[in-house]
Structure 1
């Protein structure tokens, strides 16, 4: 359920920020932005809503055992040293339900946020479409500003912004609303929809901090293409991007991804790709791929020749480019959120070499984000799919390697 939908943006365009389209933005000290620092995505509580055999939602789409998010888990997240949660919320049920059923969903969401606040955690409520119900899959929600689904999403944004603002009143609550997770549209197509989403949320609350992404699956390069004029003067905005580079390493074994057939991909990558190519060739034979999948796997395998030698210095290029854009916009460093980063677990990750590679990549990403002053939220806490960071994918705590990589406290 928590597998990544696809590699962010263009597989090869992760460093396209070098050609920055810089426009001056509004200056600000950042005092209106909550001090989010170290976060973790929580996708099992309100993400990937349960559906019936016909694809429709049941009466209580977040009620099954896999959605349980109890006090022990909340306390374990806070005790580890995380100060906020990025709460993934499947948009579909909130658009499909009406009347009392929808009101109950709203109450469940706000109650979940309240429980997190009571655990001394900040919360970014992330509207996170899923493909569980075809009518509300990600592409169906962003087919155009005037489409019925997107108009309904605007109403939802307005409503949630007001509810979160009211929840924050009288509390030392660190809350924000993320307008849409990973829009699959290119930035130019996403821009008018982003502006409409921004206006809707602001009509619900003039003060609630909002999280905006640039489109293209929240690729870092999309930030530089944003037209910032509609947001000028609003000092309560956080700008987000996601980074899973290099995809050959982070997405090896992910079904539906070009890296599905890759195996034993290391980080940092060795000077020679020979061993990784041999391991991937062996995996391709074991998978018995069909013609189309075999062609995609072969193309992915050929990228390993260019991947050889990948290390932290290449990861840092993206951070520097986002920082350059941030400086040009005169934004405070903590107005930038690295909203997702993570590594898919495979049998290779259970070997000493693989475990060390995973730990080093997570540590490098975390340290680079902190060095540039960015907030960060790793993906994800618990659940199936291979990206879970909690020990044994269930937690409530974290294993020693993950704690070391993310700079967390010992139990």
Structure 2
């Protein structure tokens, strides 16, 4: 707040826990712990109303798992917004569509019933194409992502052969996966990468996706400044399996940020440090390439 930054307090349930997880809390209004979650949202709204109006907002759920056009998610969101409004009449609330807050979830969202909860903002998250942004992600269910490495951005900046060589090198160091599973994962990885390189994604690809959010805003008469790209980012290429550092991640971050700004959308980057961060994981030093890609300046 002292730096004049707007803040979104976003509640993120941990799917790795055995009890307080999204399924038990927000899968439906009949979920075993939905009442407790709803009470939490109401309490948070009451505590946040003391801050300067318009500077702090509350987002009750991070990346709802329901399908894009799910009535179940609509009911969950309405119940949580009702609880928040009971505690604060003026706190901005951040609403989202289903299917993990993707652009397609926002495009399926009907904003008319949500007008009762004004002031509200809207949000979507952006990680397309996942083959680039989630290369090497250990948490993805599909084994193809865990082996990916050295995927270029744009696709024309590299080659299928170079990327597959990095994938093979990464797989060779995997001592936990059986050879049969590695072969199956490699075959699928080769297949999806051929599609990626044939499609030759570039800035046009990002503009097309983010343009869907702008089209949705325009069709409903919603000012683009009320729609926040609440997450975007990409994992670093594992430097052990490439010949030299590459600028692909910075190019991707710059393309996504500039595309959102061209549509008039505010944004928040994911995240400060770890594999997707803008800092070195060990030293906590800012990565100059990320600072530049985000259109920021290093403090002197």
Taking structure 2 as the reference length, what is the TM-score of the superposition? 0.88
Partner of 1:398, secondary structure, is coil
Name the residue aligned to 2:73. Answer: 190
Q: Deviations over 1:74-114 (max 9, x none)?
A: xxxxxxxxxxxxxxxxxxxxxxxxxxxxxxxxxxxxxxxxx
Name the residue aligned to 2:109. Answer: 226
CA distance in 2, matches of 1:352, 1:283: 13
CA contact (8 A) 2:38 2:83 kept: yes
Name the residue aligned to 2:126. Answer: 243
Higher relative contact order (CA 8 A, sep 6+): 1
Give the C-alpha shift of residue 407 in structure 1: 0.7
CA contact (8 A) 1:263 1:348 kept: no
How many residues align structurally? 289
321, 324, 330: which one aligns with 2:215:
324
Name the residue aligned to 1:405. Answer: 293
Give the C-alpha shift of residue 143 in structure 1: 2.8
252, 262, 266: which one aligns with 1:375:
266
Name the residue aligned to 1:157. Answer: 41
CA distance in 1, matches of 2:96, 2:282: 28
CA distance in 2, matches of 1:342, 1:349: 21
User: 2:99 matched to 1:213?
Assistant: no
User: Quick check: 175-184 or 264-273, which moved more?
Assistant: 264-273
CA distance in 1, matches of 2:147, 2:241: 18
Q: Deviations over 1:336-368 (max 9, x none)?
A: 111111111232499686531011001111111
Q: Deviations over 1:299-322 (max 9, x none)?
A: 233111111111111111011111
359, 362, 369: which one aligns with 2:253:
362
CA distance in 2, matches of 1:354, 1:294: 28
Give the C-alpha shift of residue 119 in structure 1: 4.7
Partner of 2:94, secondary structure, is strand
User: 2:219 matched to 1:336?
Assistant: no
Where structure 2 has 5 or more consecutive residues not aligned to the other structure, the ranges are none
Partner of 1:211, secondary structure, is strand
Structure 1 pair 280/391, CA: closer, same or farther in 2 (3 Å)? closer
User: 2:152 matched to 1:266?
Assistant: yes
User: 2:166 matched to 1:279?
Assistant: yes
CA contact (8 A) 1:176 1:208 kept: yes
Name the residue aligned to 1:312. Answer: 203
Name the residue aligned to 1:176. Answer: 57
CA contact (8 A) 1:263 1:283 kept: yes
Give the C-alpha shift of residue 286 in structure 1: 3.1
CA contact (8 A) 1:262 1:297 kept: no
Partner of 1:232, secondary structure, is helix
Name the residue aligned to 1:299. Answer: 188
Q: Deviations over 1:93-150 (max 9, x none)?
A: xxxxxxxxxxxxxxxxxxxxxxxx3454321100011135310122222232022311
CA distance in 1, matches of 2:258, 2:113: 33
CA distance in 1, matches of 2:206, 2:74: 27
Give the C-alpha shift of residue 272 in structure 1: 4.7
CA distance in 2, matches of 1:393, 1:381: 12
Name the residue aligned to 1:97. Answer: none
Give the C-alpha shift of residue 281 in structure 1: 3.0
Structure 1 pair 126/347, CA: closer, same or farther in 2 (3 Å)? same
CA distance in 2, matches of 1:352, 1:280: 13
RMSD: 2.3
Give the C-alpha shift of residue 234 in structure 1: 4.8
